[in-house]
Structure 1
Amino acid sequence: MRNPVLVIIPAYNEEQVIESTLDGVLAFRAKQPFFDVLVVNDGSQDKTKQLVDAYTPQIYTVHLAHNLGIGGAMQTGYQYAHRYDYAYAVQLDADGQHMIEELMKMYRYIEESNHDMIIGSRFKEKTAYKGAMSRRIGIAFFTYFIYAFTGKKIMDPTSGFRIKNRRVIASFADDYPSDYPEPEVLVTAQRRGWDIDEISVEMRPRQGGMSSIHSWKTLYYMMKVSLAVVKEWSK
């Protein structure tokens, strides 16, 4: 008997933190057993696969033969959620930033509101989160860049901590951006008439490993996502 919510954890070379992330998720599920867990190992070249396999059968796993990036890993998770008819799917980062304890708040909100997607936001209200100034500037840029196209102001457009309903799951199973998809799919949501909202959540700094967006890649990320947003809106 499957639970109504599938928590999808995309993981690429996360051997430093994947065990602590899964331990925390499973400890919370022992107290609040309303979700299943799927780890999508995105072609990791370290010990992520072996570490994840040790949690079978407590979690479901998909091991991709090659690294597809965050978009490909998440689309694999949405295809799994769609195939097994989960009511909701949640992205939870493997690096420990997303706090599983905040999931109940998001789940209750989407159930009560009937929104299509709820974003766990660090910036809708004041939280304890402290990020690098360059990252906060980038997030603010995307907030107003997306607002200029859609008229919808999302205060944390790069947050991957999101819960989606069946309609969104089915769409993402069929088509999902390959690189840095979080800002781009907000434009997709607005263009398709989906009802999205934010709810304030607490997040932690990355608990281990290295972000794929650092140093010169920050500028590259902003340029690439900006072009993707323009292209998506012009469809």
Structure 2
Amino acid sequence: MQDKILLFIPMYNCEKQIVRVLAQLDTNIQSYLTEVIVVNNRSTDGGEQAVIHYVQEHEFKIPVTLLRNDDNYGLGGSHKVAFDYAMKNDFDYVIVLHGDDQGHIENLLPYLQDHSYRQYDCFLGARFKKGAVLDGYSWFRTFGNKVYNLLFSLVVHKMIYDLGSGLNMYSCNILKSRFYLKYKDNLMFNYCMILGSSYYKHHMGFFPIRWSEDDQVSNVKIMNQAVIVLKLLGSYFLDPEKFVEEEHRDTVIKEYTANVVFSTKGGI
């Protein structure tokens, strides 16, 4: 039996890139997916119209739905919207592919074809695993990421090859507890997920990916982020149980909600 797989594409001010991401979804890729959702986190550009126009002009064999968050929830908050959508609609897995066209879903295709993704609760794209290809990524950032991967590996007692790339896959079985709800809503969400999954002994696997940087606009402030990540790791190291149970969000949101802007299941 084929798994019910949701592809979640978070979008924030990437009007130029989002159409290239949608173009990655050829008929071969679509044959392994059940539905695509694009979650717009209150973008201020023309991303929504770009999505609608592209979907209307191209043939999709699976439903495509465009959601708009009811508030700016951040990247982590958009994950929570998508995870809730997946569970409410009885999906088995969620694939995350960032809308800025840095990751390439074709890197996941071999594992979809042979079903080896089923071995993992979290199957994570890795920019720094043997076989990965980095286009336009500086040596300094590569070195820094490898250092942090090593630090996390030492703390969680498992090799970590990437703390948060733009291509990941999660089993909905682990999401049902909503263990991630109190994790940060910003770019730190994936770091928290790594630590939480390590604590709960989720079966984590990594696969090498191709990562491209050309016309994307980075939202990462490197030095500031480096300090925050070290603090996160330190708090987990000192008391893992406290880390997974405490509130990490700057603003507590009761429900992460979004409205359907467009869907091939029912129009606008």
Q: Flag whether TM exceeds 0.5 (same fold).
A: yes
Root mean square deviation of aligned Cα? 2.3
* Structure 1 counterpart of 2:218, from 211, 216, 222: 211
When normalised by structure 1's length, the TM-score is 0.86
- Any idea what the Cα deviations from partners look like across 1:39-73, whole Å, max 9, x if unmatched? 00000001012222332684112101332211011
Q: What's the counterpart of residue 140 of structure 1?
A: 146
Q: What's the counterpart of residue 6 of structure 1?
A: 6
Secondary structure at 1:163 match in 2: strand
Gaps of 5+ in 1: none
Matches within 5 A, 1:53-132: 53-54=52-53, 55=55, 58-107=63-112, 108-111=115-118, 113=119, 115-130=120-135, 131-132=137-138
Distance verdict in 2 for CA 1:128–1:147, change over 3 Å: closer
Whose radius of gyration is greater, 1 or 2? 2
Instruction: Measure, in 1, the Cα distance between the counterparts of 2:212 and 2:178.
Output: 27
The yes-or-no answer on 1:159 pairing with 2:158 is no
Judge conservation of contact 1:7–1:92 (CA < 8 Å) in 2: yes
The yes-or-no answer on 1:231 pairing with 2:230 is no
Q: Which moved more, 1:61-70 or 1:189-198?
A: 61-70
Secondary structure at 1:134 match in 2: helix
* Structure 2 counterpart of 1:169, from 139, 150, 175: 175
Shift of 1:143: 0.9
Instruction: Measure, in 2, the Cα distance between the counterparts of 1:26 and 1:197.
Output: 25
Q: Which moved more, 1:167-176 or 1:157-166?
A: 167-176
Secondary structure at 2:191 match in 1: helix
Shift of 1:29: 3.5
> Which structure shows the bigger proportion of residues in helix conformation?
1
Shift of 1:83: 0.8
Secondary structure at 1:17 match in 2: helix
Q: What's the counterpart of residue 50 of structure 2?
A: 51
The number of equivalent residue pairs is: 227
Instruction: Measure, in 1, the Cα distance between the counterparts of 2:235 and 2:176.
Output: 22
Q: What's the counterpart of residue 208 of structure 2?
A: 200
Q: What's the counterpart of residue 42 of structure 1?
A: 41
Gaps of 5+ in 2: 243-268
Secondary structure at 1:40 match in 2: strand
Instruction: Measure, in 2, the Cα distance between the counterparts of 1:150 and 1:68.
Output: 28
Shift of 1:190: 1.0
Shift of 1:187: 1.0
Distance verdict in 2 for CA 1:67–1:195, change over 3 Å: same
Q: Which moved more, 1:52-61 or 1:7-16?
A: 52-61
Instruction: Measure, in 2, the Cα distance between the counterparts of 1:147 and 1:127.
Output: 19
Secondary structure at 2:134 match in 1: coil
Instruction: Measure, in 2, the Cα distance between the counterparts of 1:10 and 1:200.
Output: 21
When normalised by structure 2's length, the TM-score is 0.77
- Any idea what the Cα deviations from partners look like across 1:184-233, whole Å, max 9, x if unmatched? 211111111111111223x23135330111xxx10111111222233345
Identity among equivalent positions (%) equals: 21
Instruction: Measure, in 2, the Cα distance between the counterparts of 1:81 and 1:206.
Output: 29
- Any idea what the Cα deviations from partners look like across 1:107-146, whole Å, max 9, x if unmatched? 32222x2x21111222221333242122212211221221
Instruction: Measure, in 2, the Cα distance between the counterparts of 1:206 and 1:11.
Output: 16
Instruction: Measure, in 1, the Cα distance between the counterparts of 2:10 and 2:32.
Output: 21
